């Protein structure tokens, strides 16, 4: 029997369907080469369905998703829909309901990809951010009273419990251990906890003690470092080569991974995974729906292809993931730029080139 993986595909809004098409093209080419099969089932969740029916993502869909091996999301967001509705109703709902508690964001600069950091090249920018993906301020604890008056009060709480912190740190240390074994260029570098424990003394202290305890008890060979989040921003720009694995809470992770995306060459190339190590994970390009480029065949599918590479890796098909990465690098060498409309090729041409050299 051929190995077969069932993938739930949500092409979504804007340029989502265009990049998802190229990503599935590349994934299928890799699968054919390696002798396994991918079965994609498409779901139409997104702006169009919401505008027609008022429905974002029914609870029944979560039950459906559980029958799949992995999920792939093109993009969510539309100018005709008030910000927040689709994001919370679809993306965050999936993250929470499927307990995708890790947001994995490789920050890797490939050869011939432009970075805004002068004097930095692929040898300097090759790290991974692990963002806790279900806790913190994103849990939505808080509220507002006296709304609309001059005495209005609003709160939004950063909520963490030890279990949530520990399971995230565990994932980060295990990934660091793998990279440690892989190459001296990684093993010489520490795992870095990013927080703001000089001000957020309760949550910061919980993260820091958990990090120190787990590190010293279970991973004594791995060097540990700590950065306040504001300083981490500076170092990402000034000394990105200091980082190998950085782990942080949800909101700080949201913020620093966009900076990470920029230094690795922009939203055209940045990919991420919403991971439940014990369950179903969802992979996505970071670029969003980019409405102004939709339907023109000019958006860069590289981020989506990177996301599909991560998906195959998480399914255990690491050889195919490597083959895709190699094909991406060959293609990136030929491209003029990784920016939408400036690639020197169309969306479909870039997809064809990667698929053709997988
Ligand atoms: C991300 C996005 C989401 C987040 C939004 C769209 C809800 O910015 O995946 O980083 O804040 O997590
Ligand atoms: Mn974000």
Tell me how far apart the alpha carbons of residues 319 and 317 are, in angstroms, rounded to a whole number.
6
| 254 Cβ below 6 A of ligand 1 | yes
pLDDT, one tens digit per residue, over 300-326 is 999 999 999 999 999 999 999 999 999
Atom of ligand 1 nearest to the CA of 254: 10
Per-residue pLDDT for 9 more than 90?
A: yes
In angstroms, the CA 79 to CA 291 distance is 7
pLDDT above 90: percentage of residues in the chain? 98
Neighbours of 4 (CB within 10 A): 11
Query: Which residue owns the Cα nearest ligand 1 atom 8?
Result: 254
Instruction: Look at residue 291 in the predicted model and tell me its pLDDT.
Output: 95
* Whole-number pLDDT of residue 261: 98
Q: What is the mean pLDDT of residues 326-347?
A: 98
Residue 177 Cα, ligand 1 centroid: separation in angstroms? 28
Nearest CA to ligand 1 atom 6: 87
Percent of the chain with pLDDT over 70: 100
Q: Is the pLDDT of residue 1 over 90?
A: no
**Tens-place pLDDT, residues 44-58:** 999 999 999 999 999
Q: In degrees rounded to 5, what are phi and psi of residue 229?
A: -65, -35
217-251 per-residue burial string, b: 16 or more CB within 10 A, e: under 16: eebeebebebbbbeebbebbeeebbbbbbbbbbbb
The token duo for 49 is: 């369905």
Ligand 1 neighbour 349 (Cβ under 6 A): no
Cα gap 185→166, rounded to integer Å: 27
**pLDDT per residue as tens digits for the range 236-285:** 999 999 999 999 999 999 999 999 999 999 999 999 999 999 999 999 99
Q: Supply φ then ψ for residue 91, to 5 degrees.
A: -65, -55
Ligand 1 in contact with 8 (CB < 6 A)?
A: no
Ligand 1 pocket, residue 353 CB under 6 Å:
no
- Computed over every residue of the chain, the mean pLDDT equals 97
Nearest CA to ligand 1 atom 11: 254
Residue nearest to atom 12 of ligand 1 (CA): 254
């Amino acid at each position: 029997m051929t190995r077969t993986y069932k993938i739930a595909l949500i092409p979504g809004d804007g340029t989502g369907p265009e990049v998802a098409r190229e990503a599935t093209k590349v994934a299928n080419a890799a699968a054919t080469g390696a002798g396994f099969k991918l079965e994609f089932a498409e779901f139409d969740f997104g702006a169009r369905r919401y505008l027609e029916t008022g429905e974002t993502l029914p609870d029944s869909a979560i039950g459906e998703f559980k029958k799949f091996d992995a999920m792939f999301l093109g993009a969510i967001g539309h100018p005709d829909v008030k910000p927040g509705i689709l994001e919370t109703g679809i993306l965050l709902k999936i993250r929470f309901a499927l307990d995708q508690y890790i947001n994995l964001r490789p920050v890797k600069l490939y050869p011939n990809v432009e970075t805004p950091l002068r004097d930095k090249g692929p040898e300097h920018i090759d790290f991974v951010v692990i963002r806790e993906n279900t806790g913190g301020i994103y849990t939505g604890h808080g509220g507002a009273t006296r709304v609309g008056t001059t005495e209005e009060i609003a709160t939004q709480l950063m909520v963490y419990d030890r279990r949530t912190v520990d399971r995230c740190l565990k994932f980060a240390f295990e990934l660091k251990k793998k990279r440690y074994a892989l190459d001296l260029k990684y093993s010489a570098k520490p795992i870095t906890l990013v927080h703001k424990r000089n001000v957020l003394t309760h949550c910061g202290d919980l993260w820091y003690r958990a990090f120190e305890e787990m590190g010293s008890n279970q991973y004594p060979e791995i060097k540990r470092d700590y950065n306040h989040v504001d300083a981490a921003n500076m170092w990402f720009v000034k000394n990105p080569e200091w980082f190998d694995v950085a782990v942080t809470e949800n909101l700080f992770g949201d913020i620093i991974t966009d900076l990470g995306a920029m230094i690795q060459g922009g939203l055209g190339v940045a990919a991420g995974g919403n991971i439940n190590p014990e369950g179903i994970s969802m992979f996505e390009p970071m670029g969003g729906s980019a409405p102004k480029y939709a339907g023109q065949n000019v958006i860069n599918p590289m981020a989506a292809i990177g996301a599909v590479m991560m998906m195959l890796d998480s399914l255990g098909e690491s050889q195919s993931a490597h083959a895709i990465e190699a094909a991406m690098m060959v293609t990136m060498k030929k491209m003029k730029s990784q920016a939408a409309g400036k690639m020197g090729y169309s969306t479909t041409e870039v997809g064809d080139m990667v698929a053709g050299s997988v």
